[in-house]
Amino acid sequence: MQPDALRTFIPIRIAVLTVSDTRTVADDKSGQTLADRIIDAGHILAARDIVADDRDKIRDQVLAWSQDKAIDVVITTGGTGFTGRDVTPDALEPLFEKRMDGFSEVFHRISYDKIGTSTIQSRATGGLVNATFVFVLPGSPGACRDAWDGIIKPQLDYRHMPCNFVEIMPRLDEHLKRGAEPTHKVY
Average pLDDT of span 97-121? 96
Q: Above 70 in pLDDT, residue 175?
A: no
Phi, psi (degrees; rounded to nearest 5) at 171: -105, 5
CATH of span 13-175: 3.40.980.10
Distance CA 2, CA 18 (A): 31
Give percent above pLDDT 90 in the chain: 86
Domain ranges for the chain, please list them: 13-175
Contact between 159 and 9 under an 8 Å Cβ cutoff? The reply is yes
Half-sphere exposure of 37 (CA within 13 A, CB side): 25
Q: Note if the pTM is more than 0.85.
A: yes
Q: How confident is the model at residue 185 (pLDDT cuts 50, 70, 90)?
A: very low
Distance CA 59, CA 56 (A): 5
Taken in order 39, 164, 125, 73, the sign of the CA dihedral is positive
Contact between 74 and 136 under an 8 Å Cβ cutoff? The reply is no
- Across the chain, mean pLDDT equals 92
Q: Above 50 in pLDDT, residue 183?
A: no
Sheet architecture: strand order including 73-77: 44-51, 13-19, 73-77, 132-137, 125-129, 98-99
